[in-house]
């Protein structure tokens, strides 16, 4: 029998999708001629917020800004570890103005914010494990940013190379389950990166291609409950076998922009 999993209360920062749209294409999921149902997106997003709060988590909200349709993807704005905020410098010019609005929120909340010198897209590519940072590169965040992150936090940073453009951010291919384990899709990574992950996490929960394409790896875990895309059924079954409790939340409208549950969720770690 798997160990009894213990949830830990989290604090999340989110941004309402009031201005959400697909107006440009900066990843393979995005097609500007594809219509977004803003009302459905808002309903799905509200469902996520209700589910988080129902499970005891704190949710803070940032006011959305007209003209920034991807601002709903709060995870890309920063990474917060030990109450220290490492901000973002987006690869796409269309998204760069988002950084200032998130920085303003953090400063108003009493945090100082480090502005990166290299392209870095927050928790999109920087995943805190409780011991070190797993850091993605290959499409967005640069290796230079990985070095910056290590110097700023003083925690080891382990660089991982992404090789499939459909999994352009690390948080589309991997997520942390708890302080001891992760789930990931091996084929999203270079051969050397797969070896690194296998050594670090020999008991990891592995996802199939279908799981990954359903945004099953763009999930959020509190250590017991895993908030996950409903269509990632095989992955949900594996998580259950490992003692976790999958909580399906449908954010399918956001997949039109290459986003999901984790993309919409910035974690603030005190």
Task: List the catalytic residues.
Answer: 169, 263
- DSSP string across 228-247: E-TT-HHHHHHHHHTT-EEE
Per residue, the 3-state secondary structure of 31-95, as one string, reads: CCCCCCCHHHHHHHHHHHHHHHHHCCCEEEEECCCCCCCCCCCHHHHCEEECCEEECCECCCHHH
Give the Cα separation of 85 and 88 in Å (integer): 10
3-state DSSP helix/strand/coil % of the chain, to nearest 5: 35, 20, 45
Strands (E), 129-252: 133-137, 157-161, 174-176, 182-184, 205-206, 220-221, 225-228, 245-248
């Amino acid at each position: 029998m798997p160990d009894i999993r213990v949830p830990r209360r989290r604090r999340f920062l989110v941004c309402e999708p009031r201005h959400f749209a697909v107006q440009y294409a900066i990843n393979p999921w995005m097609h500007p001629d594809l219509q977004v149902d803003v009302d459905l997106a808002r309903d799905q997003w509200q469902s996520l917020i209700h589910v988080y709060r129902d499970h005891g988590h704190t949710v803070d909200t940032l006011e959305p800004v007209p003209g920034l349709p991807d601002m709903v993807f709060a995870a890309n704005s920063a990474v917060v570890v030990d109450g220290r905020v490492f901000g973002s410098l987006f690869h796409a010019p269309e998204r760069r103005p988002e950084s200032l609005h998130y920085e303003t929120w953090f400063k108003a909340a009493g945090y100082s914010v480090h502005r990166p010198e290299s392209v870095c897209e927050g928790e999109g590519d920087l995943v805190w494990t409780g011991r070190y940072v797993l850091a993605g590169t290959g499409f967005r965040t640069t290796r230079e940013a990985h070095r910056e992150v290590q110097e700023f936090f003083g925690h080891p940073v382990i660089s991982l190379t992404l090789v499939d453009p459909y999994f352009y951010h690390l948080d589309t291919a991997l997520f942390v389950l708890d302080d001891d384990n992760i789930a990931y899709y091996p084929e999203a990574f270079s051969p050397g990166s797969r070896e690194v992950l296998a050594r670090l996490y020999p008991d990891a929960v592995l996802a199939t291609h279908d799981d990954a394409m359903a945004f099953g790896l763009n999930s959020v875990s509190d250590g017991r409950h895993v908030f996950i895309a409903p269509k990632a059924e095989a992955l949900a079954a594996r998580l259950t076998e490992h003692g976790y409790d999958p909580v399906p939340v449908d954010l399918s409208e956001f997949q039109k922009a290459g986003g999901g549950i984790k993309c919409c969720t910035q974690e603030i770690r005190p």
